[in-house]
């Protein structure tokens, strides 16, 4: 329960602190959530049968994919095309 409250509070803080002019607010928000999830997983106790470590790896992969998606979209945007969400 504490983990859920911590994650929710951090997600809200991240969402509020994101600039409103972000080119891809949904991707930026997802990235912030993933980074907070990673921080929470790192703080969890290590006795999870390897599952915590696997979850950290999965979140790291997701963070990388979101960043790659943002970069791809920014470099493949047509002139005059509005920013995508």
- Cα(60)–Cα(66) distance, integer angstroms: 10
Q: Which long-range contacts (CB under 8 A, 24 or more apart) does 81-85 make?
A: 83/23, 83/24, 84/23, 84/24, 85/24, 85/25, 85/26, 85/27
Q: What is the mean pLDDT of residues 19-34?
A: 81
* CA dist., res. 27 & res. 70, Å (int): 7
**What confidence tens digit (pLDDT) does each residue in 8-18 have?**
555 555 554 44
Question: Which one is predicted more confidently, 54 or 2?
Answer: 54
Domain spans of the chain, in order of start: 2-14+22-75
On whether the pTM is more than 0.75, the answer is: no
Confidence tier at 31 by pLDDT (50, 70, 90): very high
| Per-residue confidence (pLDDT) for residue 45, from 0 to 100 | 95
């Amino acid at each position: 329960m504490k983990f859920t409250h911590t994650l929710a509070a951090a997600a809200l803080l991240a969402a509020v602190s994101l600039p409103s002019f972000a080119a891809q607010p949904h991707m930026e928000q997802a990235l912030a959530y993933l980074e907070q999830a990673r921080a929470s997983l790192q703080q969890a106790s290590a006795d999870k049968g390897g599952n915590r470590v696997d979850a950290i790896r999965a979140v790291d992969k997701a963070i990388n994919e979101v960043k790659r998606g943002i970069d791809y979209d920014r470099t493949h945007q047509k002139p005059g095309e509005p920013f995508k969400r």
